[in-house]
Amino acid sequence: MKFPTEHPSILLSVTKWTVLSSAVGIVIGAIVTLFLNILAYGESARGLLPFHYYYLLPLGLALSVWLTRHFAPEAKGHGTEKVIEAVHKRNGKINVAVIPVKLLTTVITLVTGGSAGKEGPGAQIGAGTASAISDLLHFSKRDRKKLVICGISAGFATVFGTPIAGAIFGIEVLVVGAVMYEVLLPSFVAGFSAFFTAQYLGAHYTYYEISYFQHYFIDLVLIAKVILGGVFFGLVAWLIIATLKQTETAVEKIPMNPYFKAIGAGILLILLAAVFGDHYFGLGLDTISQTMRVDSGLGSDSLPWYAFLVKIFYTAVTLGSGGSGGIITPIFYIGATSGHWFGGLFGSEHQLALFAALGFVSVLAGATNTPIAATVMAMELFGMDIAHYAAVSIVISFLLSGHRSVFPSQKIRMSKSDLLEIEYGEDIEHSRVKFDKAHYRRFNRIYHDIQLKRQRHRQDRLKRRKKSEEEKEERSEE
């Protein structure tokens, strides 16, 4: 009997990647925690200014543009997109200069009031760190790519504060319709080790207790509202994607120096604050927390119905003009506020927090094509009480947002409708979607066959009824 080589080989591989991903997760957890602490310190230092902090936004955007253009062009925009592009096109190769430049430009953008997030930069810092470690240890292209994916998961887990959802998000966001199972275990390990390292170093996270009660019976009315909400959140996700793309294109076409564009964008957002208020600058975490609290006193009339629309515009202008930061936190804000408004329209006062939570995760799933990670995140952030409602809303939003994404470098490997045919390109932006005429003809033929059978059945039934009536008449005459 030959010695079995399969199980020892698997055991060696598991041991190798468990050790590597643990070590990388610890390093990334420490670096991303440093980034979060610097950001928190910068936000707290705003109070020392003798004027509103967002008056510095034009300068902050211009400085971010200068730093990225001169030191690390890959650090431009929201970090997750550049990481996905590096994984698919360069086997995970990332310039090490991205790490300090992305950290610094994101802090500058957010502290001065730019509407952006911190998750994307966390992922890019994590991926850049993993790429640098791979080069230092002379890893092969395949191993470097796997380690960089672990770095993405570690970065997300550290910033999200949800190690499972963060790890899954790091894998699921790369390809729409496929999960890279070979990286699943090391991504989980990297995510957990990064998360626990961040906690050990004093990182603080916000978890939302929406105090929703568990239904042990089928509430058909609430289920119908959740389904309608999923459709609405899918349209909101589509609006985010379209606005980001159109704004970036429009800014690029402006015949002006990029620094003047950045300054002009900052001035525009400051002027709009006189009309809409100043709570659309920065991360907006306080507003998100308020929408999630049942006892906050934030009723359906306390938050402007157009809050999510204004936040979409602020984010598109910030990122389109050269600001550095992520897109995930603005998506959370947009999802929570749009859900709060939707709950005020179709729900009751005690359901506002529920629909804010559903919007939080559903718009994320629709805009980033990550329904599995969003469902797990709903459980980690909000508890199991809303898991079944969240799953329904998330999947509907994911389907309704269509074959597009805030991350154009995502690859697509599935069709969201059996009536559509996908011509797969190198990424989601270059993939073509068209109506599947052959499938429609088959569907139409089946439909007509069913209609023809129903018509024949109806005619046979009428004949039998007529024959029965004639027989009754004959018997009555006799």
Q: What is the pTM of this model?
A: 0.87
Going by C-alpha positions, the residue among 117, 118, 189, 116 that lies closest to residue 149 is: 189
Residue 43 exposed, middle or buried by CB count within 10 Å (0-12, 13-18, 19+): middle
Rounded to an integer, what distance in angstroms lies between the CA atom of residue 237 and that of residue 228?
14
Q: Are 420 and 409 in contact (CB under 8 A)?
A: no
Q: Are 96 and 124 in contact (CB under 8 A)?
A: no
E strand or H helix at 36: helix 6-44
Question: In angstroms, how far is CA 15 from the centroid of its own chain?
Answer: 32
Q: Are 98 and 72 in contact (CB under 8 A)?
A: yes
Residue ranges of the alpha helices (H) in 256-385?
Answer: 258-276, 285-292, 307-320, 328-346, 352-368, 371-382
- Can you read off the two tokens belonging to residue 353? 């927090």
For 265, the 3-state DSSP assignment is helix
Q: What is the mean pLDDT of residues 29-54?
A: 92
pLDDT score of 298: 55
pLDDT score of 212: 53
Residue 198 exposed, middle or buried by CB count within 10 Å (0-12, 13-18, 19+): buried
Going by C-alpha positions, the residue among 180, 199, 122 that lies closest to residue 154 is: 122
In tens, the pLDDT along 419-428 reads 777 777 777 8
More confidently predicted of 400 and 452:
400
Q: Are 116 and 330 in contact (CB under 8 A)?
A: yes
Q: What is the helix, strand, coil percentage profile of the chain, to 5?
A: 70, 5, 25
CA atoms within 13 A on the CB side of 438: 1
Res 38 pLDDT > 90:
yes
* Per-range mean pLDDT, top range of 30-44, 159-173, 347-361: 30-44
* Per-range mean pLDDT, top range of 229-233, 252-256, 461-465: 229-233
Using pLDDT thresholds of 50, 70 and 90, give the confidence band for residue 1.
Answer: very low
DSSP per-residue letters across 59-125: HHHHHHHHHHHHH-GGGSS-HHHHHHHHHHHHTT---TTHHHHHHHHHHHHHHTT---BSHHHHHHH
Segment among 143-152, 290-299, 356-365, 438-447 with least mean pLDDT: 438-447
Angle between helices 79-90 and 119-136 (to 10 degrees): 30
Res 216 pLDDT > 50:
no
Average model confidence (pLDDT) for the chain? Answer: 86
pLDDT score of 335: 96
E strand or H helix at 420: strand 420-423
Rounded to an integer, what distance in angstroms lies between the CA atom of residue 81 and that of residue 120?
8
Supply the DSSP symbol for 307: H
pLDDT score of 427: 79
- Can you read off the two tokens belonging to residue 98? 């991205």
Res 113 pLDDT > 90:
yes
